[in-house]
Amino acid sequence: MISSTAEYALRAIVHLATYRRESETSQHIAEKTKVPPGYMSKVLQDLARAGIVNSQRGPKGGFTLAREPEEITILDVMTAVDPIRRIRTCPLGLPQHGTRLCALHQRLDDAMAYIEDLFANSRISDLMKPSRAGTRCLFPTVERRPAREAAGGRSPPRRTRK
């Protein structure tokens, strides 16, 4: 349902967002995200074309994030490498239907619209936080927190408005 291409691109972006170092080679990013190197190279080219990463050539070349993690959504990344294909016209090509979708195609498109909206509202910065299970993307460690706190953030609750 979510393609490997999209998932690999998200891994690469979360990696670049987490380290924010000097430019990194495609080979290095592939290794850290456990993606086949040839596949990662193609994904990074698509991300560069979409302006999500910067690509620099030369011996010290490589890839860096082109925008802040708060300014990149999951949908931006997916759209760059493997866009969600909404159903705009009758897939059977019935000329009488055209853009008037039947119940089947309307239901399928409604599902895709929901996902599109969900991912348009999910920022890369959201993915850099520990999950509710206490794990961080790409880090082989688990935050040790009591189960009842696991759903919240890492910081203690703010008390500014008490």
Binding site for a copy of itself (CB under 8 A): 1-2, 7, 10-11, 14, 33-34, 74, 84-85, 90-97, 99-108, 111-112, 114-115, 118-119, 122, 126-142
For a copy of itself, give the closer residue by CB, 59 or 92: 92
Tell the smallest beta-carbon distance from residue 63 to a copy of itself (Å): 18
The secondary element (H helix, E strand) that includes residue 106 is helix 103-120
Q: Which residue has the tokens 């509202």?
A: 121
Backbone φ and ψ for 55, nearest 5 degrees, come out as -115, 125
Question: Measured from the CB atom, is 94 or 152 closer to a copy of itself?
Answer: 94
CA separation for the pair 3, 9 (Å, rounded): 10
Q: How far apart are CA 89 and CA 101, in angstroms?
A: 7
φ/ψ of residue 123, rounded to 5: -95, 155
Q: How far is the CB of 49 from a copy of itself (least distance, A)?
A: 21
* Distance in Å, CB of 160 to a copy of itself, minimum: 25
CB of 117 to a copy of itself, least distance (A): 10
